Structure 1
Amino acid sequence: MNVGWSYYVSAQNNKLPQRMYFEKTLSEIIISDSKICAYSHTASIAAGNHGIPVIVAGHHFGDASGMAPRAHIAVYKALYKGFGGFAADVVAAIDQAAEDNVDIISLSITPNRRPPGLATFFNPIDMALMSAVKDGIFVVQAAGNTGPSPKSMSSYSPWIFTVGASAHDREYNNYVVLGNNLTISGVGLAPGTDGDSMYNLIAAPHALQNYTTTPIEMSLGECQDPSHLDKDLIKGKILVCSYSIRFVLGLSSVKQALDTAKNVSAAGVIFYLDPFVLGFQLNPTPMDIPGLIIPSPDDSKIFLSYYNDSLVRDGTSDKVVNFGAVAKILGGLKPNYGSSAPKVMFYSARGPDPEDNTLANADILKPNVVAPGSSIWGAWNSRGLDSAEFTGESFAMLSGTSMAAPHIAGLAALIKQKFPSFSPAAIGSALSTTTILSDKQGNPIMSQRTYSNPDSTQTPATPFDMGNGFANATAALDPGLIFDCSYDDYLSFLCGINGSAPVVANYTGNSCGASTMTGADLNLPSITIAVLNQSRTITRTVTNVASDENYTVSCNAPYGAAASVAPAQFFIPSGQKQLVTFVVNATMTNSSVSFGDVEFYGDKGHRVVIPFTVMSKAV
Structure 2
Amino acid sequence: MAPHAHIAVYKALYRSFGGFAADVVAAIDQAAEDGVDIISFSITPNRRPPGIATFFNPIDMALLSAVKAGIFIVQAAGNTGPSPKSMSSFSPWIFTVGASSHDRIYNNYLVLGNNLTISGVGLAPGTVGDSMYTLIAPNHALKNDTTNANDMFLGECQDSTPLDQKLIKGKLLICSYSVRYVLGLSSVKQALHTAKNVSATGVIFYLDPFVIGFQLNPTPMHIPGLIIPSSDDSKVFLKYYNSSLVRDEASKRIITFGAVAKILGGLKPNYSNSGPQVMYYSARGPDPEDSSLSDADILKPNLIAPGNFIWGAWSSRGTDSSEFQGEKFAMISGTSMAAPHVAGIAALIKQKFPEFSPAAIGSALCTTATQYDRQGGPIIAQRTYNSPDSAQSPATPFDMGCGLVNATAALDPGLIFDSGYDDFFSFLCGINGSGPAVLNYTGNSCGTPTINSADLNLPSITIAVLNQSRTVVRTVTNIANDETYNLYWSAPYGVSVAITPTRFFIQKGQKQKITFIINAIMNSSSASFGKVGFYGSQGHRFYFPLSVISKIIYNTTIT
Shorter-chain TM band: over 0.9
Deviations 1:189-235 (A, max 9, x none): 11110111001111011111116444553222111111211111111
Deviations 1:54-112 (A, max 9, x none): xxxxxxxxxxxxx0121000000100012000100000000000000000001111000
Give the equivalent residue in structure 1 for 2:557: none
Give the equivalent residue in structure 1 for 2:209: 275
Q: Which amino acid aligns with 1:127?
A: M
2:298 is paired with a residue whose SS is coil
1:505 correspondence with 2:439: yes
Cα distance 1:205–1:185, how it changes in 2: closer, same or farther (>3 A)?
same
Deviation of the 1:338 alpha carbon? 3.0
Q: Which amino acid aligns with 1:520?
A: A
Give the equivalent residue in structure 2 for 1:74: 8
1:542 pairs, out of 454, 472, 476, with 476
1:451 pairs, out of 385, 406, 420, with 385
2:303 pairs, out of 369, 372, 379, with 369
1:219 is paired with a residue whose SS is helix
1:250 pairs, out of 152, 168, 184, with 184
Contact residue 552 and residue 569 of structure 1 kept, 8 A: yes
2:99 pairs, out of 156, 165, 173, with 165
Q: Which amino acid aligns with 1:392?
A: G
1:487 correspondence with 2:421: yes
Cα distance in 2, alignment partners of residues 298 and 272 from structure 1? 10
Q: Which amino acid aligns with 1:111?
A: P
Cα distance in 2, alignment partners of residues 531 and 357 from structure 1? 18
Cα distance in 1, alignment partners of residues 250 and 523 from structure 2? 76
Deviation of the 1:556 alpha carbon? 1.7
Cα distance in 2, alignment partners of residues 429 and 358 from structure 1? 30
1:171 is paired with a residue whose SS is coil
Where do 5+ consecutive residues of structure 2 fail to align?
Answer: 554-559
**Corresponding residue pairs, total:** 553
Give the equivalent residue in structure 1 for 2:193: 259
Task: Give 1:281-360 correspondences, 5 Å limit.
Answer: 281-357=215-291, 360=294
Contact residue 278 and residue 381 of structure 2 kept, 8 A: yes
1:219 correspondence with 2:142: no
2:338 pairs, out of 404, 414, 430, with 404
Q: Which amino acid aligns with 2:44?
A: T
Deviations 1:138-187 (A, max 9, x none): 00000000000000001010000000000001111111111111111111
Deviation of the 1:243 alpha carbon? 1.0
Task: Give 1:9-408 correspondences, 5 Å limit.
Answer: 67-210=1-144, 212-215=146-149, 217-357=151-291, 360-408=294-342
Identity %: 75
**RMSD in angstroms over aligned alpha carbons?**
1.1
Deviation of the 1:339 alpha carbon? 4.2
Q: Which amino acid aligns with 2:280?
A: F
Q: Which amino acid aligns with 2:522?
A: M
TM-score, length of structure 2 as denominator length = 0.97
1:477 correspondence with 2:411: yes
Cα distance in 2, alignment partners of residues 550 and 605 from structure 1? 10
1:566 correspondence with 2:507: no
Cα distance in 2, alignment partners of residues 111 and 214 from structure 1? 45
Task: Give 1:577-596 correspondences, 5 Å limit.
Answer: 577-596=511-530
Deviation of the 1:236 alpha carbon? 0.8
Give the equivalent residue in structure 2 for 1:428: 362
1:555 is paired with a residue whose SS is strand
Contact residue 49 and residue 291 of structure 2 kept, 8 A: no
Q: Which amino acid aligns with 1:318?
A: K
Cα distance in 2, alignment partners of residues 221 and 555 from structure 1? 59
Cα distance in 1, alignment partners of residues 116 and 54 from structure 2? 53
Deviation of the 1:448 alpha carbon? 0.1
Q: Which amino acid aligns with 2:133?
A: Y
Give the equivalent residue in structure 2 for 1:528: 462
Deviations 1:336-394 (A, max 9, x none): 22342111000000001101145655100000000000000010011111111100000
Contact residue 360 and residue 531 of structure 1 kept, 8 A: no
Give the equivalent residue in structure 2 for 1:16: none
Deviation of the 1:119 alpha carbon? 4.6
Deviation of the 1:497 alpha carbon? 0.2
1:148 is paired with a residue whose SS is coil
1:299 is paired with a residue whose SS is helix
2:189 is paired with a residue whose SS is helix
Deviation of the 1:516 alpha carbon? 4.6
Cα distance in 2, alignment partners of residues 586 and 237 from structure 1? 68
Q: Which amino acid aligns with 1:129?
A: L
Deviation of the 1:283 alpha carbon? 1.1
1:608 is paired with a residue whose SS is strand
Cα distance in 2, alignment partners of residues 388 and 561 from structure 1? 53
